[in-house]
Structure 1
Amino acid sequence: MLYDDPRLVALYDVLNPFASDTAFYLALAESAEHVVDLGCGTGLLACELAKRGHRVTGIDPSPQMLRVARARPEGDKVTWIEGDASALPFVGMADLLVMTGHVAQIFLDDAALLATLKAARRAIRPGGAIAFESRNPAARAWENWTRERSLSCVEAPDGRTVEVWQELHAQPDPSTTGHAAFTTYYRFTSAPEDTLSATSELRFRTLDALAGLLTDAGFARIDWSGDWDRAPVDETSRELIAVAR
């Protein structure tokens, strides 16, 4: 889903606050001079990295997301680029390149993800790393993408209460790789007729599938974690978190 509706962009940080994944990437970046945040969204991580003294480049295809990112505290210290991995040759060599927020799953075909990983490999200096996460298909996250299981209420920046839920349309085979399609609904309770919706499609890949793509892209070593506490991957892991060099 490309966040280009200003009302959805305004809700993005409410639904995706600073959390354990943010802390994981900040710790990973401690020794990095230049960090590239590919798919930076509203810039929460990028601006926090800049605050901590890193040189940061944030890249995202959504001008609305970048508008919010530029207005953040420390936003003037980040180089913002509207685009995708095709911009990487122009940003300078990175010590760390991150793709957070399950960005890797928006690449529905392997060729597209592989092309992005290859571009990242060329943009990372020797000794540097790429890091990203993808939902573990064995955890079957899509089973919770129903109104009954996913419904939550949040407060929008303008003070209005918003009900948010997902409805699944298609699910993947957890033993292989496949697509999940779902719609997220945003219902403003003060005006029930004012309900927004956005349909998304995500690709779920197994650890072996992701490892194969990283290897094909030229990464020789991959460290895997199954959660943000760096626990090893097992059958209960919600995430497949890769740090590859």
Structure 2
Amino acid sequence: MTYDDPRLAVVYDIDNPDGPDHDFFRRFADHLGAKRIVDLGCGTGLLTVTLTAPGRTVTGIDPAAAMLDRATARPGGEAVNWVLGTGEQIAPQSADLVLMSGNVAMHILGDDWHTTLAAIARGLRPGGRLVFESRNPQARAWETWNDPVAERDTPIGLLRESLTTEPPGENGIVVMHCHNEFVDTGHIADVEQTLQFRTRQQIVDDLLAAGLVALNVWRGWALTPFVGTQAEQLKVFEAAPA
């Protein structure tokens, strides 16, 4: 797994700060009045810990132990139930809200995507919601993701890095080859990241097949309806048990 390296987990925190996306998920949870929240693919828990509130149970699930190590040590981490695993760890009818932030939904590939959606459908209580984001394949964002070798300072020393990206195949999967060299120690972490780009209709159909219905599809965090143009980078979905 990409972020099983503790050094990369530290860099992840730098590259994925709090922002408008986290504001959206917090507002959504409050508006829904969610008492039981699951942050699936929670990573280092930066968003997860901010979802905690009196009378609310928050669970963060992630398949990377190094990410959860940082999550549990984060201020406020003691208020969260951290679980190593995948969507299959969501107990039946246990959640008012399941969320997948960042590229989490796109990191779940092929049959695992369908398995995850089915697990979420089982895990949602009546009236519960699933919210997540996915990139619009029409925007062809991967074309801008080829980065030459560069260096930057990080909390764990100088990092020399580069990124090369393969265009998607018929299945919409983009493969990114990431080179990470921690100059001070000589540690090298060469990893691949994979993202599956799906159209709006593919996602709507996949949700329905799993027992979920798409209630809204927005183009970003301001809740503007997604209409399917090349300029729209994100699709934000709200779904509920069918």
TM-score normalised by the chain length of structure 1: 0.88
CA displacement at 1:195 relative to structure 2: 4.3
Partner Cα distance (1:154, 1:51) in 2: 37
Give deviations 1:23-56, integer Å, cap 9, x for gaps. 1111111121111011111011111111576320
1:222 alignment partner, one of 210, 215, 223: 215
Structure 2, unaligned runs of 5 or more: none
Aligned residues between the structures:
236
Give deviations 1:103-127, integer Å, cap 9, x for gaps. 1112221x32111111101111111
Percent identical among aligned pairs is 36
Partner Cα distance (2:183, 2:222) in 1: 37
Partner Cα distance (1:52, 1:230) in 2: 27
Task: Say whether residues 1:99 and 2:104 are aligned partners.
Answer: no
Structure 1, unaligned runs of 5 or more: none
Task: Say whether residues 1:162 and 2:155 are aligned partners.
Answer: no
CA displacement at 1:196 relative to structure 2: 2.9
* C-alpha spacing 1:221/1:131, structure 2 compared with 1 (3 Å): same
1:32 alignment partner, one of 31, 34, 49: 34
Task: Say whether residues 1:178 and 2:172 are aligned partners.
Answer: yes
Q: Map residues 1-40 of structure 1 onto 2, 5 A cutoff.
A: 1-30=1-30, 31-40=33-42
CA displacement at 1:141 relative to structure 2: 0.9
One-letter amino acid matched to 1:124? L
- What is residue 147 of structure 2 aligned with on the other side? 147
CA contact (8 A) 1:178 1:205 kept: yes
Partner Cα distance (2:46, 2:56) in 1: 14
CA contact (8 A) 1:51 1:74 kept: no
One-letter amino acid matched to 2:179? Y
Q: Map residues 109-148 of structure 1 onto 2, 5 A cutoff.
A: 109=110, 111-148=111-148
| More displaced stretch, 50-59 vs 98-107 | 50-59
1:50 alignment partner, one of 48, 52, 74: 52
CA contact (8 A) 1:154 1:162 kept: yes
CA contact (8 A) 1:33 1:55 kept: yes
* C-alpha spacing 1:40/1:57, structure 2 compared with 1 (3 Å): same
Partner Cα distance (2:48, 2:98) in 1: 11
Partner Cα distance (1:207, 1:153) in 2: 37
TM-score normalised by the chain length of structure 2: 0.89
* C-alpha spacing 1:243/1:155, structure 2 compared with 1 (3 Å): farther
Partner Cα distance (2:205, 2:101) in 1: 20
Q: Map residues 63-78 of structure 1 onto 2, 5 A cutoff.
A: 63-78=65-80
Task: Say whether residues 1:239 and 2:239 are aligned partners.
Answer: no
Partner Cα distance (2:103, 2:168) in 1: 16
CA displacement at 1:188 relative to structure 2: 4.0
One-letter amino acid matched to 2:168? P
